[in-house]
Homo-oligomer: A and B are copies of this chain.
Amino acid sequence: MIRLLPDWLRDYRREWLAGDLSAGVLVTLLLVPQGLAYALLAGLPPQFGLYASLAPLLIYAVLGQGRAQSVGPMAVTSLLVAASLSRLAEPGSGDYLALAVGLAVLSGLILLALGFARLGFMADFLSQPVLAAFTSASALIILLSQLSALAGVRGGASLPALATGLWQGLPKANGLALAFGAATLAFLTLARRFGQPLLQVLGLSAARAVLWVRCAPTLAVAVSMLLVSGWGLTGRLPLVGEVPAGLPGLRWPALEAGQWADLLLPAFFIGLINYVQSLSVAQMLAARRGEQIDPDRELLALGACNIGSGLCGGFPITGGLTRSVVNADAGAQSQLSSLITAFGMALAMLFAAGALATLPLSVLAATIISAVAGMVRLDALRLAWRSDKADAAAWLLTFLLVLLLGVDSGIVAGMAVSLAALLWRGSRPHIAELGRVPGTQHFRNRLRHAVEGLPGVLTLRVDESLYFANARQVRLALIGKAAGMPSCRQLVLVMSAVNRIDTTALLMLEELDRTLAERGIVLHLAEVKGPVMDVMERAGLGRRFAGRTHLSLQQAWQRLTPSPDYHI
């Protein structure tokens, strides 16, 4: 399943080099400030963001399938880390740092386990509306928490905590920090709006211009550092401060058994969400090139990346949308670009760490605000409302619970709503009464078409597979419909929509047959699908319904049509 040499290295073409090189450099410039910012968002010292940006890039380059995928710290993941850990330890404490590292290792191990067990399909149980609501609400919380950071105020993980924190802290806000933050925000907004045409005027191609605009945050960070040290503002506003220089060593997280147990559930959900996120980015970029991504293999790659991040002292990571798109658009043709980015991050850790000391926190906050502002979107709710009210309810519930209770409770509740709606619908299937279109062999719903019936015969079609969750409902509905037709002597159950049947439903069919027989009604089956018939044979129901199982409904009707000399 995993080859010794990654695909991209075996097929490497010389003409890819230029694109990989420039993409690798560009992503490095983007990743340094993002790594610092997302570490702070997760409640961790900034260097954790750098630690989390080295090993995953190297590991994904070997194990990953996405050619332009760029893995590393992500805003929503950091928020999830903060939300999960702030319940277990004081943010910034030694325990908190150890738990963050443990969370990365454990969620990586869980992804590996799911990958080996080929359980990648679990990610499918996160529906699009739930995921969209989760992302929008998370972005909103990140916005608020970074407004707090911009003002130098400590926030919480849910909307009420953040709002009260901001309200109480605002009067004590640091004016200089606010000024730096506001200026950065204004610059980034302007750059996004007018940067591309401006750079094109200066002679760049449209595509290149778009890419360099993406590096505006890096420019803002660099300029703010120069201003702080040039104007001698150290000590007058919150700065990133001393970042230890040097590469991270490998270390197993120092946690006790009880702490690992506490991390189990958060690690599972963070791993699942990171996987869904990373897989959808990889599949989107692969589809552009006409390539396929094996979901189970991607699970292994992302699991290994997270373990690597944790062992190097980093926190949970994923394949991010923005950076991967920048990587692809900057010309990345292979994971060589990730190796170059990793090299750049190592250089930053070794030599740039000291310079980061003068970087204002409010500037980092402004770069995050600018990055997530576009993620708060209501169009998914609009689509869900039009197509499926249960999906709209799942969106609303997830959105509200993420805001009010926190990201982790919200996503669990959203998944539960999706599953419950699915089960509830399956549990009350549509049952149509059929009749024959006169003069044809076609049978249609009596309520929608002008059809004819047979005397004493009730023909019902169940539009759902039969299983435990709907067996009782179906039995009651069929008996009820039979009771509603006092002349009924034969009931033909059309099973054309029954794709599967389980033990509970088999027992139900047997009991239904017995109950109907007691009332003088003969139960017939028609259009039973092959696999369903096989199961019925094995369970002994084939014998029971021998002579009453009809290949087609037409044949059943021919059998049940009274002959001219027919008497009751």
Q: Give the interface of A toward B (CB within 8 A).
A: 121, 124-129, 287, 290, 292, 295, 380, 383-384, 386-388, 390-391, 418-419, 422-430, 448, 463-465, 467-473, 476, 479-480, 497, 499-504, 506-507, 515, 518-519, 529-531, 535-536, 538-540
Contact = CB atoms under 8 A, between A and B. Distances in A.
A386 B536 CA distance: 9
A499 B464 contact: yes
Contact of A383 (B383, B469, B519, B539): B539
Across the A-B interface, the 9 shortest Cβ-Cβ residue pairs: A127-B468, A128-B504, A387-B539, A391-B503, A386-B538, A463-B499, A384-B503, A388-B502, A127-B504
A516 to B, nearest CB: 11
Contacts of A497: 497, 499
B418 A383 contact: no
A553 to B, nearest CB: 13
A383 B500 contact: no
Contact of A503 (B128, B499, B502): B128
A471 B383 contact: no
B503 A125 contact: no
Contacts of A473: 121, 124
A360 B465 CA distance: 53
A544 to B, nearest CB: 13
A513 to B, nearest CB: 12
Given A388-B503, A535-B387, A125 B468 contact: yes
A interface, over-half SS: helix
Contacts of A125: 423, 468-469
Nearest to A500: B425
28 contacts: A124-B468, A124-B470, A124-B472, A124-B473, A125-B468, A126-B468, A127-B469, A127-B503, A129-B504, A287-B515, A287-B518, A292-B476, A292-B479, A292-B480, A295-B476, A384-B503, A386-B538, A387-B501, A387-B539, A388-B535, A391-B503, A419-B419, A422-B469, A425-B500, A429-B499, A448-B530, A464-B465, A497-B499
A479 B383 CA distance: 25
B467 A502 contact: no
Given A124-B469, A387-B538, 9 more contacts: A124-B427, A292-B476, A292-B479, A383-B503, A387-B506, A387-B539, A390-B502, A391-B503, A425-B500
B518 A290 contact: yes
Contacts of A464: 465, 499
A419 B430 contact: no
A377 to B, nearest CB: 14
A110 B41 CA distance: 41
Nearest to A469: B124
Most B C-beta atoms less than 10 A away, residue of A448, A464, A467: A467
A503 B539 contact: no
A429 B121 CA distance: 13
Contacts of A472: 124, 295
Contacts of A469: 121, 124-125, 127, 422
Most B C-beta atoms less than 10 A away, residue of A128, A448, A529, A536: A128
B386 A539 contact: yes
Contacts of A535: 387-388
Nearest to A529: B463
Contacts of A426: 422
A518 B291 CA distance: 12
Contacts of A501: 387-388
Contacts of A465: 464
Most B C-beta atoms less than 10 A away, residue of A386, A426, A476, A502: A502
Contacts of A463: 499, 529
A73 B95 CA distance: 50
A530 B449 CA distance: 12
A306 to B, nearest CB: 22
Contacts of A292: 476, 479-480
Contacts of A425: 500
